């Protein structure tokens, strides 16, 4: 795909403003999405420091509504799993260094308690209607995270006061 000429840029802008489908504009102009949005956002500088006025993008609202609720929920659950795993790894690294003041160890103990609760709730959120692959991945992540949490708690043992859930 080649860099569009100013004439093509003007046509692309006019068609986008008129509401033509992005896929149709891209196919007809033989340009990629980057070039399209470059022109939508104002195109090149004319040498005097000014560009064309940007055309408001219309895709953000459609993208939000295009995803089904179960897919959006599954994506959120996956992000929460990744975040919980990241936090457990971060705590493990701090424990390995073994150079934390007691107030930071206490904070980590509270965070572990919250993570355990979060893992339980994430497991409860799983739906029977979700795809088998997603459920299998969640189970594997849950088991791995639970194993790591158990190992951390076992290592901490008597050094950390117990917190109520």
10-residue stretch averages of pLDDT, the chain, 165 residues long: 78 91 91 88 76 80 57 79 84 80 82 81 63 61 80 68 48
Is 48 found in the same domain as 103? no
Tell me the whole-structure pTM to 2 decimals: 0.37
Which of 63, 78, 108 is where one domain is finished?
A: 63
Which residue, of 63, 78, 93, is where some domain finishes? Answer: 63
How many other C-beta atoms can be found within 10 angstroms of the C-beta atom of residue 84? 21
Same domain, 75 and 53: no
What pLDDT was estimated at residue 61?
47
* Number of domains present in the structure of the chain: 2
Two tokens, residue 147? 């194993």
Model pLDDT, residue 91: 82
Q: Return the half-sphere exposure (C-beta side, CA atoms, 13 A cut-off) of residue 40.
A: 20
> 73 and 58 in one domain?
no
Given 36, 63, 90, which residue is the final one in a domain? 63
Spell 26-58 as b/e; 16+ CB within 10 A means b.
beebebeeebbbbbbeebeeeeeeeebeebeee
Which residue range is the domain that position 78 belongs to? 67-157
Residue 165 inside a domain? The answer is no
Residue 47 lies in a domain: yes
Give the pair of three-digit tokens for residue 146.
Answer: 């639970």
Together in a domain, 145 and 83: yes
* 162, part of any domain: no
Cα-based angle 35, 37, 42 (whole degrees, multiple of 5):
100
| Residues 55 and 79 occupy one common structural domain | no
Q: Output the pLDDT for position 11.
A: 92
**Residue 1 within any structural domain of the chain:** no
Shared domain for 93 and 105, answered yes or no, is: yes
How far are the Cα atoms of 43, 91, 119, 143, 161 from residue 148, in angstroms, in the given order?
Answer: 51, 10, 12, 9, 19
Are 84 and 118 contained in the same domain? yes
């Amino acid at each position: 795909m080649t860099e569009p000429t100013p004439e093509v840029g003007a046509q692309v802008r006019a068609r986008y403003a008129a509401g033509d489908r992005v896929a149709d504009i891209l196919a007809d102009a033989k340009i990629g999405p980057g070039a399209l949005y470059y022109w939508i956002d104002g195109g090149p500088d004319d040498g005097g420091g000014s560009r064309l006025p940007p055309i408001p993008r219309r895709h953000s609202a459609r993208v939000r509504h295009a995803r089904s609720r179960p897919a959006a929920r599954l994506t959120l659950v996956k992000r929460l799993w990744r975040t919980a795993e990241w936090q457990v790894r971060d705590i493990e690294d701090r424990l390995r260094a073994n150079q934390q003041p007691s107030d930071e160890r206490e904070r980590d103990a509270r965070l572990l308690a919250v993570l355990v609760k979060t893992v339980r709730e994430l497991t409860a959120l799983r739906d029977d209607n979700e795809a088998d692959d997603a459920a299998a991945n969640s189970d594997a992540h849950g088991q791995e995270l639970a194993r790591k949490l158990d190992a951390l708690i076992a290592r901490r043992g008597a050094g950390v006061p117990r917190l109520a859930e």
